[in-house]
C-alpha cells in the first residue's frame, strides 16, 4: 500500500503554509569589462511556507566592540524546491518580514525543513543586520 503523499501535501498547503518566502542566491555573472563577478538574484518568489520556532533559545554574546544575537528558526515548504545552504530567504510572517540565511534542507516526501538563522549586531546602541540598520519590520 502506498502512502497518500499528495493528500498530505495538499493539507499542508491548505492549513499550514500561510507565510511567503522569496529565495535569493548568489549567481556568477560577467561585469561590463567581461570579468567574473557575483550578484544576488531571486530564484523563487512568494512561495507558500511555514516559519516556526522550534525550541532553541536565542544565543547572544559580546566582544569589545559589539553585542550580538543569533536567532534560529525553521521554515517548512514543498520539497519540489531546491533551497541551498547560504541562500538568503526573505520571509513574510503575520505582517513581519524576516531576512534569514538557510542551512541544509532536509527533504521528506510531504515537505522539507530548513533551519534558518538571523544574526544581529548592536553597535553604539543601534541594531545592525548585514551591516545595515535594523528596522521594526526586519
The pLDDT assigned to 104 comes to 94
Q: Which residues touch 45 (CB under 8 Å, ≥6 apart)? A: 22, 23
Residue 21 · residue 49 · CB < 8 Å:
yes
What is the model's pTM? 0.73
Which pLDDT does position 117 carry in this prediction? 84
* DSSP output for 14-73: HHT--EEEEEEEEEEEE-TTS-EEEEEEEEEEEEEEEEE--SPPPEEEE-SS-EEEEEEE
Instruction: Tell me what pLDDT residue 134 has.
Output: 65
Statement: residue 136 has pLDDT above 60: no
CA–CA separation, 83 and 49 (whole Å): 12
Indicate the helix (H) or strand (E) that contains 7.
Answer: helix 5-15
Q: How far, CA to CA in Å, does 35 sit from each of 25, 27, 32, 39, 41? A: 20, 14, 7, 13, 18
* CATH number assigned to the domain with residue range 5-133, chosen from the 4 options 3.40.50.300, 2.30.40.10, 2.40.10.270, 3.40.50.1240: 2.40.10.270
Number of Cβ atoms within 10 Å of the Cβ of 86: 10
Match 529565495 to its residue by C-alpha cell: 23
In this predicted structure, the answer to whether residue 69 has a pLDDT above a threshold of 70 is yes
Query: pLDDT digit string (tens) for 104-133?
Result: 999 998 889 999 987 777 666 666 565 566
Instruction: Give 86-97 pLDDT, tens digit per residue.
Output: 999 999 998 888
The torsion angles phi and psi of 15, rounded to 5 degrees, stand at -105, -25
Amino acid at each position: 500500500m502506498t502512502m497518500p503523499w499528495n493528500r498530505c501535501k495538499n493539507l499542508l498547503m491548505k492549513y499550514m503554509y500561510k507565510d511567503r518566502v522569496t529565495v535569493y542566491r548568489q549567481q556568477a555573472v560577467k561585469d561590463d569589462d567581461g570579468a567574473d563577478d557575483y550578484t544576488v538574484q531571486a530564484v523563487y518568489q512568494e512561495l507558500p511556507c511555514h516559519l516556526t520556532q522550534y525550541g532553541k533559545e536565542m544565543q547572544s554574546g559580546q566582544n569589545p566592540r559589539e553585542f550580538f544575537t543569533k536567532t534560529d528558526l525553521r521554515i517548512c515548504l514543498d520539497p519540489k524546491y531546491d533551497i541551498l545552504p547560504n541562500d538568503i530567504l526573505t520571509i513574510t510572517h503575520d505582517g513581519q518580514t524576516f531576512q534569514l540565511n538557510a542551512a541544509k534542507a532536509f527533504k521528506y516526501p510531504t515537505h522539507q525543513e530548513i533551519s534558518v538563522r538571523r544574526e544581529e549586531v548592536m553597535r553604539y546602541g543601534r541594531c545592525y543586520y548585514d551591516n545595515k540598520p535594523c528596522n521594526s519590520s526586519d
